[in-house]
Amino acid sequence: MNILNKIIKYKKNEINILKSNYTINDLQSTKLFEKLTVSLKKNLKSSKSGIIAEHKRKSPSKNIINDYLYVEDVINGYKKAKVSGISVLTDYHFFGGSNQDLKISKEIFSGPVLRKDFIIDEFQIIESKSLGADVVLLIASILSKKEINNLSKLAKELNLEVLVEIHCERELDKALCQYVDLIGVNNRDLKTFKTDINISKNISKKIPNDFIKISESGFHSYESINDLRLYGFEGFLIGEYFMKSADPGTAAKNLIKKIEQ
């Protein structure tokens, strides 16, 4: 069983526990559920850097990346760096994240916040709204075209934007849905966890211009980001590159400065 299959198996059990502890009414009664969402799509359109900075403590491939910094310090650093958006891993078992990380991020950062998790159930979409998310991530490799349509339709009804992540060209058809706002090309193979930004380049021309294109993972320099701009990418989701630094906010600030020069 590969890493992705293990994650989904664990996630199904986690969702069952979630449903036993909370009702939909519980989620809809939270203060954050009523909060107006902020558009990542609009932010990327007006941004010079397109940087979406991620808070991530660990991953199955790298194990611990950075688990000693307070989430408040990381998000404040990203805020000062003037990132276009923030991505927050909320999966605990495999990535060391939490729902509280997302809530704290939304309290600090007034821009768009993406909930990054393994969403396979409509209950998680409603939960995302209750946690203060502005954008939800749907992973094409673990969902059918019908599931993506249904989950993204519910997200839009809740005024959430939808980012569908693909890893190869054959997954693109599933992502081309009227309720989807952004398509992210993950340069990381979720089975081997190796990265290659050429994956984004090879798929870019196949993605219709109706969607904002985001490239995810594998960035180590501003040159690669500027290179991908030539392929129509307007957003760049970066986590490990920042988080492995002792000061992720400064790392983000320095990269953005180089991009904008």
Positions marked catalytic: 54, 56, 116, 165, 186, 216-217
Q: Residue 259 in contact with residue 226, Cβ under 8 Å?
A: yes
Q: How far apart are CA 237 and CA 52, in angstroms?
A: 5
Q: How far apart are CA 92 and CA 68, in angstroms?
A: 15
**Amino acid (one-letter) located at 190:** L
Structure tokens at 122: 């409509």
Within 10 angstroms of residue 179's Cβ, the number of other Cβ atoms is 18
List the alpha helices (DSSP H) in 158-209: 172-175, 198-204
Q: Residue 87 in contact with residue 237, Cβ under 8 Å?
A: yes
Q: Residue 242 in contact with residue 248, Cβ under 8 Å?
A: yes
Q: What is the CA radius of gyration of the chain?
A: 17
**β-strand partners of 183:** 164, 213
Maximum alpha-carbon separation in the chain: 52
Q: How far apart are CA 201 and CA 204, in angstroms?
A: 5
